[in-house]
């Protein structure tokens, strides 16, 4: 689990996903995941002059590296961005300090998530029928009860239209699909054949936290996640630096072509890719940009 995105609006990863893990210095363990699309971790100008440009590691790991995890030294960095690609929630850029932590080198895979489910019998949110009591909490007061066919286990599946559509209405490409869940990513008739090492998807924040707890970790905070995603490149536009996306040597699994109806798949993948299919960032972390969105703790 872990990682994601970073990249700006280019990153329209249609998948929801998962998590990254972090383990804190002593045993504490943590894991984090982040919603990926936090997107544009582009760097920017404007750090207050009273801060140093960047401070070095603030802590050292006290344990041998846990399997599959990387030590992130911590330090101070410019979080967010106000460049053209930055989403509004990333503004304004501001200085943040994080302490050292361990984080998973890759997004959480289907194999890893299956181990958790097999060990615990955990049933994800997408596999449970919602109740009117739960839905009511998220609706304005007085809203009538929806029809019964809404109260079935379901999730959103990326379903590209066959023609150009305005990009201000996500309903044009997200389909509420009964039976879609992590075992059946595109719905009841799909499965995980040949996708063991793809990131698990259709995982809610609660599911990600449950996985992390089981693994003895926690989700990373958004600040930790972004610090890790930057890979030591303070204020860079992308997780790999400032170079634009290269069709000849794709840096990440993102969208190419016209969103959402024409994905040219120049990077080789129309949906998820096996974790670690693209070059790692400066900290040795994979898919911090692209592939799937990842959850963070906050
Ligand atoms: Ca990712
Ligand atoms: Ca792609």
What are the domain boundaries of the chain? Answer: 9-296
Rounded Cα distance, 11 and 90, in Å: 14
One digit per residue, pLDDT tens: the chain, 298 residues? Answer: 443 333 332 333 333 333 444 433 333 334 333 333 222 222 223 333 344 445 555 567 867 889 999 999 999 999 999 999 899 999 999 999 999 999 999 999 999 999 999 999 999 999 999 999 988 999 999 999 999 888 999 999 999 999 999 999 999 999 999 999 999 999 999 999 999 999 999 999 999 999 999 999 999 999 999 999 999 998 899 999 999 999 999 999 999 999 999 999 999 999 999 999 999 999 999 999 999 999 999 9
Ligand having the closest approach to the CA of 287? 1
Q: How far is the CA of 200 from the centre of ligand 1 (A)?
A: 11
C-alpha 164/C-alpha 245 separation (Å) is 23
Largest CA distance in the chain: 58
Residue 102 and residue 160: Cα distance in Å, rounded? 37
At CA 265, angle to CA 264 and CA 267, rounded to 5?
Answer: 135
Give every CB contact of residue 15 below 8 A, 6+ residues apart in sequence.
Answer: 158, 199, 201, 271, 272, 291, 292, 293
Tell me which ligand sits closest to the C-alpha of residue 225. Answer: 1
Q: Which two structure tokens, joined as six digits, stand for 25?
A: 């210095």
Report the chain's terminal Cα–Cα distance, integer Å.
15
| Gap from CA of 92 to ligand 2 centroid (Å) | 29
Span 9-296 CATH architecture: Alpha-Beta Complex (3.90)
How far does the centroid of ligand 2 lie from the alpha carbon of residue 25, in Å? Answer: 35
CA of 285 to the centre of ligand 1 (A): 10
- Residues 6 or more apart whose CB falls under 8 angstroms from that of 205 comprise 295
- The CA 273 to ligand 2 mean position distance, Å, reads 8
Q: Model's pTM, two decimal places? A: 0.81
Distance CA 289, CA 2 (A): 10
Question: Which among 132, 182, 190, 118 has a CA at the least distance from the CA of 154?
Answer: 182
């Amino acid at each position: 689990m872990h990682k994601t995105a970073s990249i700006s609006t280019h990153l329209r990863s249609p998948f929801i996903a998962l998590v990254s893990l972090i383990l804190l210095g002593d045993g504490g363990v943590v894991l984090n995941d982040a919603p990926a699309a936090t997107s544009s971790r582009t760097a920017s100008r404007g750090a207050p002059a009273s801060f140093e440009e960047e401070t070095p590691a603030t802590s050292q790991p006290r344990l041998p590296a846990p399997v599959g995890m990387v030590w992130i030294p911590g330090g101070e960095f410019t979080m967010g961005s106000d460049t053209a690609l930055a989403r509004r929630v990333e503004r304004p850029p501001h200085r943040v300090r994080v302490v050292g932590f361990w984080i998973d080198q890759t997004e959480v895979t289907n194999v890893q998530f299956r181990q958790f489910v097999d060990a615990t019998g955990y049933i994800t949110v997408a596999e449970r029928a919602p109740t009117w009591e739960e839905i009511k909490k998220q609706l304005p007061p007085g809203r009538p009860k929806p029809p019964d066919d809404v109260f079935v286990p379901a999730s959103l599946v990326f379903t590209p239209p066959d023609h150009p559509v305005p990009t201000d209405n996500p309903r044009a490409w997200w389909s509420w699909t009964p039976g879609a869940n992590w075992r059946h990513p595109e719905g009841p008739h799909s499965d995980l054949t040949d996708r063991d090492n793809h990131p698990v998807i259709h995982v809610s924040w609660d599911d990600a936290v449950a996985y992390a707890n089981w693994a003895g970790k926690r989700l990373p905070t958004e600040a930790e996640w972004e610090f890790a995603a930057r890979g030591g490149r303070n204020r860079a536009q992308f997780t790999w630096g400032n170079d634009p996306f290269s069709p000849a040597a794709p840096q990440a699994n993102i969208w190419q072509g016209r969103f959402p109806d024409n994905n040219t798949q120049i990077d080789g993948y129309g949906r998820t890719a096996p974790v670690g299919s693209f070059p790692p960032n400066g900290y040795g972390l994979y898919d911090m940009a692209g592939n799937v969105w990842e959850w963070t703790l906050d």
